Amino acid sequence: MHPMLNIAVRAARNAGKILLRASEDLSKVEVQQKGANDLVTNIDKEAEAVIRDTILQSYPTHSIVGEELGEHKGKDADYQWIVDPIDGTTNFIKGIPHYAISIALKVKGRLDQAVIYDPIRGELFTASKGQGAQLNSKRLRVSKTTVLAGTVLATGFPFKNKNHMDAYTEAFKALFVHTADIRRAGCSALDMAYVAAGRVDGFFEIGLKPWNSAAGELMVKEAGGMVVDFAGGNNYNHSGNIICGSPKLTQAIIREIRPVLSESLLR
């Protein structure tokens, strides 16, 4: 295992212990509202602090960007860690056992290492640039499905971007008539990890942040998949609008939804 991936795994497992301990008595979890339909807990912040400390103990000059604690500017800007301590905070707060810790590392602006850790199931998804993706050390490959017929897709509702609800609904309908089913589980990091694992065939969502998707992006690509924006380009880190799956299935999803999307979603 790459040394930096090893540290990411250690950081994720340390945070996972905090999440599991807190999940035993959710009445003690302190919940605050950051914005519309955007919640944060003291556990998010505690887990992110532990991740940050674990990384900086080994790499004190590296930079870190986290969802809750913001940016730590290290002396070496070539190395930037991107952290989501709980992807699926609402699930965590409600006691729904489906959330994950997401950690990615960019080296000179390019994704290099990724970890998505599901502490409930003990599933550790990892990826290293050029070395493939694994689940608990077993190699992952995306689904071989090339057409929408019979597929199971994952999605996330635009709960922070309800102004896009009409366009999203039309895109959902355009895809749903062709698929076996579409699932919404509330954790985009695991949605993308599941695409990498072939558990779901594809995934699409509006308005993700880099900490939601960075680790999943590398995971999908290293498992042989494609990650694009709604226009089929590479602007997803700016727009937050993501589609992923096998290359041919991803193109099939684009063909179905592009005609029904607003111009703002195709930028």
Strand ranges, E, within 38-178:
38-41, 62-66, 70-72, 76-87, 100-107, 110-118, 123-128, 132-135, 138-139, 152-156
**Phi/psi of residue 199, each to 5°?**
-75, -35
pLDDT by residue for the chain (267 residues), tens only, comes to: 899 999 999 999 999 999 999 999 999 999 998 877 678 889 999 999 999 999 999 999 999 999 998 899 999 999 999 999 999 999 999 999 999 999 999 999 999 999 999 999 999 999 999 999 999 989 999 999 999 999 999 999 998 888 899 999 999 999 999 999 999 999 999 999 999 999 999 999 999 999 999 999 999 999 999 999 999 999 999 999 999 999 999 999 999 999 999 888 888
Neighbour-count burial of 182, counting CB atoms closer than 10 A to its CB (0-12 exposed, 13-18 middle, 19+ buried): middle
pLDDT of residue 159: 85
CA 85, chain centre distance (Å): 11
Q: Looking at this protein, which amino acid is placed at residue 20?
A: L
pLDDT of residue 162: 85
Instruction: Give the integer Cα–Cα distance in Å for 265 and 82.
Output: 24
Instruction: Give the integer Cα–Cα distance in Å for 103 and 216.
Output: 9
pLDDT of residue 243: 98
Q: What is the pTM of this model?
A: 0.96
